[in-house]
Structure 1
Amino acid sequence: MGEVAEYVAGLHEPARSAIEGVFFIAREVVPDVEEGRSYGMPALRYAGKPLLAVVEAKTHIGLYPFSPAVIEEAADVLEGFDRRKGTIRFTPEHQLPEEAVRRLVGLRRDEIDAASGRRRA
């Protein structure tokens, strides 16, 4: 079991389903991810770089795309959600729309590709 799977398995509902859903979508957008840790959080990694972490906090769930630029670029699909420089906060009752997760993950993947000189087919 990887870092992300182990972390999710240890969560209680309804946070487990909400977090599991975000990771599921992320894996659909970027199938060639690996599980690991970034900044002490269980995270999906792509091309050796952190792609996304989603962790439960006391009053919310934090999604970390490891890029303030990605959060800024996706602001139009994040209306109504608390955003900070490096995180988006949501709750199991007010989850991020699938479109927003797909956009964040795609933008972060593209950012990693651009920084490493990778080209997508």
Structure 2
Amino acid sequence: MGDVEDYLATLSGAERDAVARVYERARALVPDVEEGRSYGMPALRYRGSPLVSAMVTRTHVGLYPFSPDVVAALAGDLDGFRTTKGSVSFQPDAPLPDDVVDRLVLARRDEIDARAR
């Protein structure tokens, strides 16, 4: 097991489903990710950089693409969700749509790829 799988094992119900869905989508889109930690959070890493993390907080689920630029670029897709410079918050029973998660993950992947060139 890795950091993400260990973290998922601590969750249950709608919270687990919502967090697991983010990681499932990311793994399907970027199959060569590795489990690890970034900024103390369980995360999927791509090419040595953090790709995405999703965690339950006291009041919501947070999705962290580790990039203020990615969050800003997709602001139009995030109407109705609380955002900060580097995160998107949602409720477990009202998760981000899969297509929005996909765009966040792919934008972050593309950002990492561009830096590697």
Judge same fold: TM > 0.5, yes or no: yes
CA offsets 1:15-57 (integer angstroms, 9 cap, x no match): 0011001100011110100000000000000000000010000
Consecutive unaligned residues in structure 1, runs of 5 or more? none
Q: How does 1:1-121 map to 2 (within 5 A)?
A: 1-117=1-117
SS class of match (1:93):
coil
Aligned-partner residue type, residue 107 of structure 1: A
CA RMSD of aligned residues (A): 0.6
Q: How many residues align?
A: 117
CA contact 1:3–1:42 (8 Å) conserved in 2: yes
1:65 Cα deviation from its structure 2 partner: 0.2
- Classify the secondary structure of the residue corresponding to 1:112: helix
- Could you report, residue by residue, the CA deviation over 1:35-86 in whole angstroms, capped at 9, with x for unpaired residues? 0000000000000000001000001000000000000111121110000001
Query: Residue 12 of structure 1: CA displacement?
Result: 2.1
Measure the CA separation in 1 of the matches of 2:55 and 2:17. 12
Q: Contact 1:77–1:99 at 8 Å: present in 2 too?
A: no
**Which secondary structure does the structure 2 equivalent of 1:24 belong to?**
helix
Runs of 4+ aligned residues of structure 1 deviating over 4 Å after TM superposition are none
